[in-house]
Amino acid sequence: MYLPHSFMYGIAALSLAISQNAFSADANNVLRVGTSGDYAPFTYKEKGAVTGFDIAVVEAVAKKIGYQVKWEVADFVGLFGQLDSGRIDTVANQLSITLERQQKYQFSQPYEFSGDVFVIKQDNNSIKNIQDLAGKTVGVGFGTADERKLRSLLAGKNVTIKTFDEDPVAELNEVVLGRVDAYYNGAVAVRTAIGRAKLPLKLLGKPAAYDEIGLPFARNARGQALASKVNAALGELKKDGTLQKISLQWLKADVTKKN
């Protein structure tokens, strides 16, 4: 049967509109989140899925705002590229809220306050403070906020900084093997890694610095809208005690406020 071009065009336009509306509805109810899945106990893989503290926080936030989470697992160094290209909406990977990052991204309010520490061998009695690191080699995660803070903290102290792009246990093993004299990372992460792998290491004193951990969003309409919703949800989850429960479950401590 012959159908006029105008009729066919109308059907095509209607189909396109339905398709676009369906895509829009799907996009508006799915939170695409990037994570490395290799940073226990915050984000790691188990039975084919990602799990951990950051994962649980995002899932709780998504539930509060009526969204489903679509997880995208990639190397840490590539997560910001995915955020910049619009492939993901945010990153859940223990991201510190820094002035440099805030110039480019809109961050949620912090959902964790993390203290950074130096880790040394259990039997090392020669390093007792930062000054004792002079002439030593210190390891840190490549491209992390910790790396930038460490370089600032040790500036002018004659310390060699060696960067790594591996999981915390592998990086801590560099200290055990004597390839670096100390390692710099978040206290919760290193305590967990030391305990899981039973490494002969210890923390050097109190935290040298503190981080505020949050979720970054692109500075566009979608990013700003999501950031607003996520902020409101985090506020409610803090108020009703949900965030504290998640923290105690995964980290055995309440890191949702400054201690």
Which domains, ranges and CATH numbers included, belong to the chain? Answer: 5-111+214-251 (3.40.190.10), 114-211 (3.40.190.10)
List, edge to edge, every strand of the sheet that includes 49-51. Answer: 38-39, 43-46, 49-51
Residue 189 — very low, low, confident or very high, per pLDDT cuts 50/70/90?
confident
Residue 208 — very low, low, confident or very high, per pLDDT cuts 50/70/90?
confident
pTM more than 0.95: no
In this predicted structure, what is the pLDDT of residue 203?
95
Residue 259 — very low, low, confident or very high, per pLDDT cuts 50/70/90?
low
Does residue 133 have a pLDDT over 50? yes
Say if strands 137-141 and 182-186 run parallel, antiparallel, or are unpaired. parallel
Nearest to 152 by CA among 178, 116, 188: 116
Does residue 137 have a pLDDT over 80? yes
Give per-residue pLDDT as tens, 5-39: 443 444 444 443 433 333 343 467 999 999 999 98
Residue 25, helix vs strand vs coil? helix
In this predicted structure, what is the pLDDT of residue 188?
84
Report how far Cα 180 is from the mean position of its chain's Cα atoms. Answer: 25
Say if strands 160-164 and 137-141 run parallel, antiparallel, or are unpaired. parallel
